[in-house]
């Protein structure tokens, strides 16, 4: 016995010929709520605020561009390179779907490094704040994946298995909800709790490392329940592309911890913003 897939229209609102999809609203909610959280967390040190609110406000367009461009380019390179080489104009048809979290993360990192250099902001102070907000976008994004009936899980016999519209007749793991819970809600709670500890905030890089490792372990775990991408399948007969792309995140987390521990006694909490 399997649970029925909820009949939710992927289109949230239609205005004339234009459709506003839940997936687009998920991105909007992620950016706006994430920005609110970042501004709040930046004020935990009171007058010793490491980054001015004006600088955080001005970074929002950079974040949007970094995520969208990086996510699209990453999807093309990691998941559908051959297909897009045969139809290059399809790269521009973003409304048809096709975004990669790892590509979006790379785009965001480049945006943060460039912005921090231009504004003379401590880059790890910026990444720590932004990483606290990313799980919000992940939570809403995975819920949107669920509504779209995409990125579903492998065939299962668990009581909560669902028959997805495009997943054949067998019940499957609702892996989108697993990811929304782990990558989104659980990781967000952990980041907020840690961000409220001044000892953690005063070691730039630690919060970024927690996010990178937390996301990587969550994604690697859920990938064992998620159906691999049809055009790629399993790598070495065991791993998925998502799991492979998480490995550099784990390496980056270790390097950030080493850096943070090495510099924690050198006044890292008092760099000018």
List Cβ neighbours of 78 (8 Å cut-off, separation of 6 or more): 100, 102, 103, 241, 245
Q: What share of the chain is helix, strand, coil (3-state, %, to 5)?
A: 65, 5, 30
DSSP annotation string for 139-154: HHHHHHHHHHT-S-B-
Q: Which two tokens stand for residue 46?
A: 């009171």
Q: Which two tokens stand for residue 19?
A: 């459709």
Residue 201, annotated as binding a ligand? no
**Contact indicator for 94, 74 with CB cutoff of 8 Å:** no
For residues 58-79, b (16+ Cβ closer than 10 Å) or e, as one string? ebeebbeebbbbbbbbbbbebb
Task: Report residue 272: phi and psi, to 5°.
Answer: -70, 145
Residue 94's CB is within 10 A of a number of other CB atoms, namely 13
Binding-site sequence positions: 142
């Amino acid at each position: 016995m399997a649970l029925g897939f909820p009949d939710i229209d992927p289109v949230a609102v239609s205005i004339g010929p234009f459709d506003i999809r839940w997936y687009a609203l998920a991105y909007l909610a992620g950016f706006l709520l994430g920005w609110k959280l970042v501004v709040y967390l930046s004020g935990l040190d009171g007058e010793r605020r490491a980054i001015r609110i004006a600088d955080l406000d001005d970074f929002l367009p950079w974040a949007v561009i970094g995520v969208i461009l990086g996510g699209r380019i990453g999807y093309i390179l990691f998941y559908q390179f051959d297909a897009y080489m045969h139809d290059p104009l399809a790269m521009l048809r973003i409304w048809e779907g096709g975004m990669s979290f790892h590509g979006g993360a790379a785009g965001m990192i480049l945006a943060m490094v460039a912005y921090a250099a231009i504004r003379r902001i401590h880059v790890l102070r910026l990444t720590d704040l932004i990483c606290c907000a990313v799980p919000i976008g992940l939570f809403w994004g995975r819920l949107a994946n669920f509504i779209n009936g995409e990125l579903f899980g492998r065939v299962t016999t668990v009581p909560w298995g669902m028959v997805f519209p495009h997943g054949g007749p067998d019940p499957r793991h609702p892996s989108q909800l697993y990811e929304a819970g782990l990558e989104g809600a659980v990781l967000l709670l952990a980041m907020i709790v840690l961000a409220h500890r001044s000892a953690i905030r005063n070691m730039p890089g630690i919060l970024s490392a927690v996010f990178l490792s937390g996301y990587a372990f969550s994604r690697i775990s859920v990938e064992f329940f998620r159906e691999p991408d049809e055009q790629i399948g399993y790598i070495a007969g065991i791993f998925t592309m998502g799991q492979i792309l998480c490995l550099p995140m784990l390496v980056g987390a270790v390097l950030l911890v080493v850096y943070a521990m090495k510099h924690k006694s050198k006044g890292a909490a008092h760099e000018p913003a």
